């Protein structure tokens, strides 16, 4: 009898161990999952595929910034859609799927309060006069744009760069009849690069990216306008946490260095 009792105890112990093994395995998985989530939270990483609507004048610098962000946040992919700020605003109002927005002026962003989180200015810019390489028309100052023989191209009035241009020209009482008004500032620059216009008013950062094709004539501060770039999350985003992380990152020292190296001013 003693032998049979001992054998039963051994069998029970084996069965209990067998039943506990899957539970232990599940416990390890839960622990690993919790650890992974904790690590993700600690690093501030929120993995997602982000779509960011951004002003056309940010095209070059955001390619660099996006790559830097993805490197620092493994598992997150940032896709940019560049256009004039007024076009971006129209896309937001039409419900285009996106996660964050950066415009080239506060007026456009302010008109989207119902669709965005609280915006933060992440950079500033200023206008310059872009001329053909070597400045063949000898344009020296803003008032030269009033010469009726000069082919001037401007951004359209509803575009931030167009509003800034109108503001500074009106302030100096300079009458300009542009040969064309373009949907974004990059299109203005392109017209000058291609020789389809003699001069155009563009952002300093755009002219600096095209130094082999255009010259830039500085406009004095007292005659110039400062462009501000606000960034905000979109309320319709399906990746709100990751979108907020990206917008916050744009104000970090790493992002600010990238922006300022490209010629943007501190916010």
Strand, helix or coil for residue 215: strand
pLDDT band at 13 (very low <50, low <70, confident <90, very high): very low
pLDDT band at 104 (very low <50, low <70, confident <90, very high): very high
Checking if the pLDDT of 25 tops 70, the result is no
- DSSP label of 146: G
Checking if the pLDDT of 258 tops 70, the result is yes
Between β-strands 180-182 and 226-233, what pairing exists: parallel, antiparallel or unpaired?
A: unpaired
Checking if the pLDDT of 32 tops 60, the result is no
State residue 31's pLDDT score.
Answer: 38
First-to-last C-alpha distance (Å) of the chain: 88
State residue 222's pLDDT score.
Answer: 96
* DSSP H or E run through 165: helix 160-171
Give the number of other Cβ atoms within 10 Å of residue 52's Cβ.
25
Are 214 and 193 in contact by the 8 Å Cβ rule? The answer is yes
Checking if the pLDDT of 9 tops 50, the result is no
Checking if the pLDDT of 172 tops 50, the result is yes
Instruction: Report how far residue 112's alpha carbon sits from residue 256's, in angstroms, rounded to the nearest whole number.
Output: 25
Are 265 and 144 in contact by the 8 Å Cβ rule? The answer is no
Beta-bridge partner residues of 51:
79
Mean pLDDT across 79-108: 96
Instruction: Report how far residue 120's alpha carbon sits from residue 102's, in angstroms, rounded to the nearest whole number.
Output: 9
pLDDT band at 46 (very low <50, low <70, confident <90, very high): low
Checking if the pLDDT of 19 tops 90, the result is no
Instruction: Report how far residue 133's alpha carbon sits from residue 140's, in angstroms, rounded to the nearest whole number.
Output: 14
134-140 long-range contacts (CB < 8 A, ≥24 apart) are 134/215, 135/215, 135/217, 136/198, 137/198, 137/199, 139/198, 139/199, 139/217, 140/217
Mean pLDDT across 62-74: 96
- Rounded to the nearest 10 degrees, the angle between the axes of helix 160-171 and helix 185-193 is 70
Q: Compute φ and ψ for 83, nearest 5 degrees.
A: -170, 175
CA 123 to chain centroid, in Å, comes to 10
Average pLDDT, the chain: 87
Set out the domains of the chain in order of their start, with CATH numbers: 49-124+227-261 (3.40.190.10), 126-226 (3.40.190.10)
Dihedral sign from CA coordinates of 154, 158, 160, 166: positive
Instruction: Report how far residue 182's alpha carbon sits from residue 75's, in angstroms, rounded to the nearest whole number.
Output: 38
Q: Which residues contact 176 (CB under 8 A, 6 or more apart)?
A: 145, 146, 152, 154, 169
Checking if the pLDDT of 6 tops 50, the result is no
Checking if the pLDDT of 12 tops 70, the result is no
State residue 27's pLDDT score.
Answer: 42
Rounded to the nearest 10°, the torsion over CA 70, 71, 74, 79 is 10
State residue 136's pLDDT score.
Answer: 96
Checking if the pLDDT of 64 tops 80, the result is yes
User: What pLDDT, in 10s, does the model give residues 175-227?
Assistant: 999 999 999 999 999 999 999 999 999 999 999 989 899 999 999 999 999 99
* pTM beyond cutoff 0.85: no
pLDDT band at 47 (very low <50, low <70, confident <90, very high): confident
Give the number of other Cβ atoms within 10 Å of residue 140's Cβ.
11
């Amino acid at each position: 009898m003693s032998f049979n009792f001992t054998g039963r105890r051994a069998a029970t112990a084996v069965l209990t161990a067998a039943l506990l093994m899957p539970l232990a395995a599940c416990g390890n998985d839960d622990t690993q999952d919790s650890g992974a989530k904790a690590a993700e939270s600690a690093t501030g990483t929120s993995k997602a595929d982000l779509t960011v609507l951004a002003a056309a004048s940010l095209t070059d610098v955001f390619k660099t910034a996006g790559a830097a962000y993805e490197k620092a946040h493994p598992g997150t992919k940032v896709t940019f859609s560049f256009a004039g700020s007024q076009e971006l605003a129209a896309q937001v109002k039409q419900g285009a799927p996106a996660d964050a927005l950066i415009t080239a002026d506060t007026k456009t962003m302010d008109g989207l309060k119902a669709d965005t989180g609280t915006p933060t200015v992440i950079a500033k810019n200023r206008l310059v006069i872009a001329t053909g390489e070597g400045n063949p028309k000898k344009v020296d100052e803003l008032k030269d744009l009033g010469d009726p023989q000069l082919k001037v191209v401007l951004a359209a009035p509803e575009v931030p760069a167009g509003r800034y241009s109108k503001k500074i020209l009106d302030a100096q009482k300079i009458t300009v009849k542009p040969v064309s008004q373009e949907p974004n500032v990059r299109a203005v620059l392109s017209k000058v690069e291609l020789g389809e216009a003699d001069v155009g008013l563009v952002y300093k950062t755009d002219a600096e990216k095209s130094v082999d094709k255009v010259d830039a004539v500085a406009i004095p501060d007292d005659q110039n306008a400062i462009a501000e770039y606000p960034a905000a999350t979109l309320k319709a985003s399906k990746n709100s946490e990751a979108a907020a992380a990206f917008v916050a990152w744009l104000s970090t020292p790493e992002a600010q260095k990238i922006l300022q190296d490209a010629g943007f001013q501190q916010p």
